[in-house]
Amino acid sequence: MTTSRIAGRAAVLPTAADVDKAAERLAGIATRTPLVSSRVLDELTGGQVFLKAEMLQRTGSFKFRGAYNKLSTIPQVRRAAGVVAFSSGNHAQGVAAAAALLHMPAVIVMPRDAPASKLARTAALGAEIVLYDRAREDREAIAREIAAQRRAEIVPPYDDPMIIAGQGTAGSEIIEDLAALGLAPDAVIVNASGGGLTAGIALAVKAHEPSAQIYTAEPVDFDDHARSFRSGQRERNAQTTGSICDALMSPSPGELTFEINRTLVGQGVTASEAEVARAVAFAFHELKLVVEPGGAVALAALLSGKVDVEGKVAVAVLSGGNVDADLFARLVS
């Protein structure tokens, strides 16, 4: 880890070495997800495209990586008090699964309008769920209150060095699996909400392939990263509801994640709801993979030509597959 100054305060940032340590902690516990390729996708884009299939990760999204890494660094004496997290669904499941494995109690603060499947799956993992109203209540305040009462540790969804380092293990695997094929990535496109997955992957990829270009991918009306890269400061989204990409509804880039991403990433692409829907359908018909809308934005950016990968080795991260059956049915029909 390195210490940096953000807005006049000292902040601890993770490094590629922290990603390596996270990979050791996750070995044999997280799923090593495959890089999937598709001749149809290669023909459509003119590139050699690989998809990091994180819907095959434990709990159906990459979030397990960061959560397990973070929880396993909590000292033994503090584990009985448990953890508290706030999440619309994927981080919730990641924290709940990691807590169960480490025998820690977990309270998850979730919005009342989170997808039913995400609420049900989080409960099934043994977590206690506290619901809040996304429009009127402050989830962070609720989480802080619970944490103070129980002396439990808050597990932030993205703005934490151990969370970022854990998510970065997806990036190490991309580098290793491409190397086994004699390849290295020219472009890596990552769905971004708070930017933790992007920052972790950027640390891992840039450490091995400094010339690789990393892109954030965001829904068109929730392009806080793309705008922040252009303005040089953390921009906010006008709203935090109203997209099929429920996993990508963070209000703005994180402090730590943006500090990493503005240097290592610096460019973002967007996809419309229709383009995202087409990408979910493409994954169903051509890849036989279940991708949730928020997990399909990077693929949507590729399919709609927002990132030109002709003649390049490109990776798009399919970050999760936790989608309600009704919505999925509507998107693929």
The count of residues interacting with a second copy (CB under 8 A) is 25
Q: Which of 2, 4, 17, 34 binds a second copy (CB under 8 A)?
A: 34
Residue listed under structure tokens 């730590």: 256
Instruction: For the CB of residue 97, give the shortest distance to a second copy in the complex, in Å.
Output: 9
Q: Which of 133, 138, 145, 326 binds a second copy (CB under 8 A)?
A: 326
- Between residues 23 and 35, which has the closer beta carbon with respect to a second copy? 35
Instruction: For the CB of residue 330, give the shortest distance to a second copy in the complex, in Å.
Output: 8
CB contact at 8 A, 52 and 65: no
Q: Does 58 bind a second copy (CB under 8 A)?
A: yes
Instruction: For the CB of residue 1, give the shortest distance to a second copy in the complex, in Å.
Output: 31
Q: Which of 127, 202, 287, 314 binds a second copy (CB under 8 A)?
A: 287
Instruction: For the CB of residue 292, give the shortest distance to a second copy in the complex, in Å.
Output: 9
Instruction: For the CB of residue 325, give the shortest distance to a second copy in the complex, in Å.
Output: 5
Q: Does 183 bind a second copy (CB under 8 A)?
A: no
Amino acid, single-letter form, for residue 136:
R
What 3-state class would DSSP assign to 317? strand
Question: What's the rounded Cα separation, in Å, for the pair 255 and 267?
Answer: 17
Question: What's the rounded Cα separation, in Å, for the pair 68 and 81?
Answer: 16
Instruction: For the CB of residue 319, give the shortest distance to a second copy in the complex, in Å.
Output: 12
Q: Which of 45, 117, 198, 319 binds a second copy (CB under 8 A)?
A: 117
- Between residues 237 and 319, which has the closer beta carbon with respect to a second copy? 319
Q: Does 39 bind a second copy (CB under 8 A)?
A: yes
Question: What's the rounded Cα separation, in Å, for the pair 203 and 2?
Answer: 13
The span of 10-18, 155-163, 228-236, 321-329 binding a second copy (CB under 8 A) equals 321-329
Distances 279 to 89, 192, 227, 268, 292 between C-alpha atoms, Å = 21, 16, 23, 18, 10
Question: What's the rounded Cα separation, in Å, for the pair 264 and 323?
Answer: 31
Instruction: For the CB of residue 281, give the shortest distance to a second copy in the complex, in Å.
Output: 8
What 3-state class would DSSP assign to 269? strand
CB contact at 8 A, 26 and 166: yes
- Between residues 180 and 238, which has the closer beta carbon with respect to a second copy? 180
What 3-state class would DSSP assign to 192? coil
Q: Does 276 bind a second copy (CB under 8 A)?
A: no
C-alpha count within 13 angstroms, C-beta hemisphere, residue 172:
21
**What does the DSSP assignment read for 14-37?**
--HHHHHHHHHHHTTTS--PPEEE
Q: Does 274 bind a second copy (CB under 8 A)?
A: no
Q: Does 329 bind a second copy (CB under 8 A)?
A: yes
Q: Which of 8, 76, 288, 310 binds a second copy (CB under 8 A)?
A: 288
Instruction: For the CB of residue 65, give the shortest distance to a second copy in the complex, in Å.
Output: 15
Q: Does 49 bind a second copy (CB under 8 A)?
A: no
Residue 213 host element (H or E): strand 213-219
What 3-state class would DSSP assign to 255? helix
Burial bucket for residue 14 (CB in 10 Å: 0-12, 13-18, 19+): buried
- Contact residues for a second copy, defined by CB under 8 A: 31, 34, 36-37, 39, 55-56, 58, 60, 117, 281, 284-285, 287-291, 321, 325-326, 328-329, 332-333
